[in-house]
Amino acid sequence: MKQPNIVFIFMDDMGWRDLGCSGSTFYETPNIDALSREGMRFDRAYAACPVCSPSRASLMTGRHPARVGLTD
């Protein structure tokens, strides 16, 4: 079986409609739009915390931010 190529993009301070593929008419994001068209798109997600540090820690450890000791 051929291994899949996975590109995971983790952004800070991005609104739900800040990409062209999400409906933005202000920002032009042609490369990300092409990735969205050619691959799988997951548009329902949950951020572990509203700021970046706990969310990144949660992603890297697989645990909730409070369990890692980062909440702000």
Query: If you ran DSSP here, which 8-state letter would residue 35 be given?
Result: H
Kindly state the percentage of the chain with pLDDT values over 70. Answer: 100
Dihedral through CA 33, CA 35, CA 37, CA 42, nearest 10?
-100
pTM: 0.66
Mean residue pLDDT across the chain: 86
Distance CA 72, CA 59 (A): 15
Distance CA 69, CA 54 (A): 9
Model pLDDT, residue 1 = 85
- List pLDDT tens digits, range 25-62: 999 999 999 999 998 888 787 777 778 888 888 888 99
**Residues near 71 by Cβ (< 8 Å), separated by ≥ 6?**
49, 54, 65
Residue 65 or 45, more confident: 65
Distance CA 2, CA 70 (A): 38
